[in-house]
Structure 1
Amino acid sequence: MKNLIISAFLLISASVFSQTIIGDNIGTATDKTSVLPEFANTNNKGIILPYVRVLPVAPSEGTILLDSTNPLAARVKYFNGSWVDLSGQNANVTTALVDQPTVVQAPELPVAKTIIGAVSSSADGVLVLESATQAMLLPIVSDVNNIPNPSPRMMVFVNKAGAKRLAVYNSAKWSFWKPAS
């Protein structure tokens, strides 16, 4: 009985403190203690942000999405108390929205979300990352040209010598942000 309890405790603690790597079992982070989720080193895939046809009224800080309230002038935005434009340029996402739902379904339950890094969270989102010491490691590519068919709302980190930067695809163009010197 004692061995069973110890085994169960080790299994539970391993799952609570384990690293989430999406796409393989290696990932790209050299220090696995600093990241919650990370992605396989495929060099040709990104993370797809959610789109909205109506901006949320009271989003949680840190929310990132494609604002398609005007499909002819869609922009990637994040919320830090107010909406901040990350695109810097408009995109026509009319064609991309054709396959997306147009009617709001029944309201989602507050518990209808996946939380990584905590047991619970009051943040509103489909995927919630909660940690005081860990962050998400974006998919890494050496060049956005390695992505054969970028999807609208795609986000990657470009790890190119002399040009390391965040890149977001808004359905028409890539927008790039380099770290401040």
Structure 2
Amino acid sequence: MKKSLITILFACASTMSAQVIIGDAVGTATTKTSVLLEFAANQNKGLIVPYVRIIPQSPAEGTILLDVSTPTAARMKMYNANTAYGTSGWLDLSGKGADITDAMTVQPNFSSAPESSSTKTIIGDVTSPANGVLVLESAIKAMVLPIVSDVQDILSPSPGMMIYVNKPGSKRLAVYNGAVWSFWRGDFPSGQTP
């Protein structure tokens, strides 16, 4: 009986997959087998990445943040470890700086809200070597960004917001640095080249 129970529990555990849907129980992905994190449909909301005053020196590849080391020139950045084009591994997703000095007055600083690199939320596994506020740990699953029809549908975007625009003829990633939306459909922001 004990062996049967253990076998059943093991079989159930091996077929389970971690998935989180924020906003409802349905999400946007029609097939859920490769989804780790997704968001409710038709919400006209986005995902806001962390505001970072000091850029990490050796982050995990795929780290996305709002660089506010100079609050008058905030930029969305992604770490891809590719040092081509003089990026030091950090790729500027914004293409232009934004003055978010006013927004920074309501953000906690290190002395009022100290951080610990060991404090993190992991989705997809029990542990992860990566540091981050939210770590998606999976070799076969990914996050589906919040989907909107048009950036104009988000009435008051916040600095550091990311969305996927699902507009006919214009499907792309969009990031907001606090002043302008930047759109991605390949390796570089629309209109920019290395």
TM-score under structure 1 length normalisation: 0.89
* C-alpha separation in 1, matches of 2:114 and 2:70: 23
Distance 1:101 1:179 in 2: 34
2:130 matches 1:120 = no
**CA–CA separation in structure 2 for the residues paired with 1:107 and 1:23:** 27
Instruction: Specify whether residues 106 and 49 from structure 1 end up closer, same or farther in structure 2 by C-alpha distance, changes over 3 A only.
Output: closer
| Contact 1:50/1:153 (<8 A) preserved | yes
**1:54 partnered with 2:62:** no
Aligned equivalents of 1:108 and 1:132: distance in 2? 25
Aligned residue type for 2:184: W
Can you list the C-alpha shifts for 1:71-123, whole angstroms capped at 9, x where unaligned?
1111000111211100001101101101011234444151x111111221000
Structural RMSD (CA): 2.1
Contact 2:117 2:132 in 1 (8 A): no
Q: Runs (4+) of structure 1 moved beyond 2 Å?
A: 1-14, 102-107
Q: How does 1:32-71 map to 2 (within 5 A)?
A: 32-71=32-71
1:108 partner amino acid: S
**How far 1:148 moved relative to its partner?**
1.5
Q: Is the 8 A contact 1:87 1:175 kept in 2?
A: yes
Q: Is the 8 A contact 2:150 2:165 kept in 1?
A: yes
Offset, 1:61: 1.2
1:4 CA drift (Å): 6.8
Equivalent position of 1:144 in the other structure = 151
**% same residue:** 58
Aligned-partner residue type, residue 146 of structure 1: D
The residue type equivalent to 1:97 in the other structure is: M
Question: What's the TM-score, normalizing by structure 2?
Answer: 0.83
User: Which runs of 5 or more residues in structure 2 are unaligned?
Assistant: 82-88, 188-194
Query: What is the Cα deviation at residue 25 of structure 1?
Result: 0.7
Return 5+ residue gaps in structure 1 as ranges.
Answer: none
Matched residues, number: 178
What pairs up with 1:14-29 in 2 under 5 angstroms?
16-29=16-29
Structure 2 CA distance for partners of 1:174 and 1:101, relative to 1, 3 Å = same
Secondary structure, aligned partner of 2:33: helix
Give the residue type in structure 2 aligned to 1:133.
Answer: I
Matched, 1:178 2:181: no
